Chain A
Amino acid sequence: MLFFIVPTLLTKHKRSEIGLNSTQPAFDELTKSCHERNLPVDAWKSAYCLAMDERGEHLGIFDVNHEKAPTLAQITLQLTEMKDNSNNNNNVNIVNWIADGLKAENDQCVLNMNFI
């Protein structure tokens, strides 16, 4: 079985060498330009090493810094907490009532879709 893996691994190794050679100059240029602009390259390197050693949450350094738009659940919770702090129970009920209305409206649509 291992016999069959060897050529595959060799091919992969060869490809990765080609990839490294072709991207190395561009990567070096990028590092150089980062140093010129006083960007925290050393901090990035240490964060990378830490991620490689510790894994877990430290791998977050590789995440794209993308924040999703708030969901209906998040907004409902936020409004409920906000209205909750106003010490007026009626305000909390308003949020729940409208959220229930949206749910009922959605279910009306689902039911109508199933009738088509």
Chain B
Amino acid sequence: MPKKPTVKQQLKIAQMRARLGKQVKSFLQAANLFLPNLEEVDLMPLKEEIIDTPAEETVVPGEFDVDDGLDDDYDFEEQDEAEIPSEVVDLPLPSNIISVEVKSSIKSLISVERELRKGQANDALEGLRVALANKSLIFSKDVNPSKTTKQTTRAWDSVRNIQSHVLAHARSYERAWEALNSIGIAEDLLVYQKLNVSDLKTVKDITMAKRYGQGSDALAWFWRIGPSEDSITGEWMQECKLI
């Protein structure tokens, strides 16, 4: 968001905030059905997300559009001045609960959230892989060959746009990982590792194929994960092994 946002940008933020307000409100109302009464100290405060692009590849990310699938019924309810803004409300998801007593009484909720967080992590990693590959491709096909100012400007616009997607997916994964770290088991953390800033580097195998030292370069861990061997129908892989 620029320092002096345009009216259109301000309107967009207000619409997003109104929609989010509704979502949070209905979530908090439903929470009373499933959770015991919670105090503020029982919940983990909202963490500031710190993952960012590696310093050597810093570009200002473009504006990330909110999911188009959301309802378009912008209903501007007047927000109470004293009310906490919906984007900083601590959501009482099972993984955000720190009270040991409460946690022991909501084991079924925890198991459901654990499974859903794995799905969130899978989605985020898939999105991250696609976005990083896309970014590398833009560097290779648009940025590097651009010769005029117009081409360069457009190419870097694309880079900034894709960069916002990289960060959004990385942060989504980070949230899923934090939750799995809180409610998951050790096996989950073997598959889903912590994401480092260095993992968000562009894929040099696309931008600089056949480069010096390529043999010793290794891709980030999330390029090599997939379903466990048990879940793959081993027939074809067996054929490969035999060859």
Identify the A interface with B (CB < 8 A).
30, 33-34, 37, 39-40, 65-76, 79, 91, 93-95, 97-116
Contact = CB atoms under 8 A, between A and B. Distances in A.
Contact of A109 (B17, B33, B49, B93): B49
Interface residues of B, number: 62
Contacts of B226: 66-69
- The binding surface of chain B is classed by DSSP as helix
Interface stretch (B75-83, B133-141, B165-173, B195-203): B165-173
A47 to B, nearest CB: 12
Contacts, number: 147
18 contacts: A30-B243, A39-B243, A65-B233, A67-B226, A68-B226, A69-B226, A72-B120, A75-B118, A95-B116, A98-B94, A101-B91, A101-B93, A105-B93, A106-B172, A106-B175, A108-B46, A110-B66, A112-B87
A39 B171 contact: no
B86 interface: yes
Contacts of A39: 239, 242-243
A91 B19 CA distance: 26
**Minimum-distance CB pairs A-B, first 10:** A72-B119, A75-B119, A65-B236, A69-B122, A104-B23, A111-B87, A101-B93, A108-B87, A107-B20, A72-B123
A97 B27 contact: yes
B53 interface: no
B122 A110 contact: no
Nearest to B94: A98
Of B31, B112, B164, chain A has the most CB atoms within 10 Å of the CB of B112
B126 A72 contact: no
A54 B172 CA distance: 43
Given A71-B126, A111-B13, 4 more contacts: A40-B239, A102-B117, A107-B67, A112-B88
A79 B236 contact: no
- The binding surface of chain A is classed by DSSP as helix
Interface string B13-44: 10011011001101100110110000000000
A30 B239 CA distance: 12
A61 to B, nearest CB: 10
Contacts of B236: 65
Contacts of A97: 27, 30-31, 33-34
